[in-house]
Amino acid sequence: MMHLFRNYEDWRSTITGVCRLDLNRAYCQARRRALVDESDPGTRDFLKAYGSEYRDLVASWFERAGREAAA
Residue spans of the domains in the chain: they are 21-70
2, pLDDT greater than 70: no
Sign of the alpha-carbon dihedral angle for 56, 58, 8, 26: negative
Which pLDDT tens digit goes with each residue over 28-64?
A: 999 999 999 999 999 999 999 999 999 999 999 999 9
What does pTM read for this prediction? 0.91
Confidence at residue 3, expressed as pLDDT on a 0 to 100 scale = 73
Confidence at residue 71, expressed as pLDDT on a 0 to 100 scale = 64
5, pLDDT greater than 90: yes
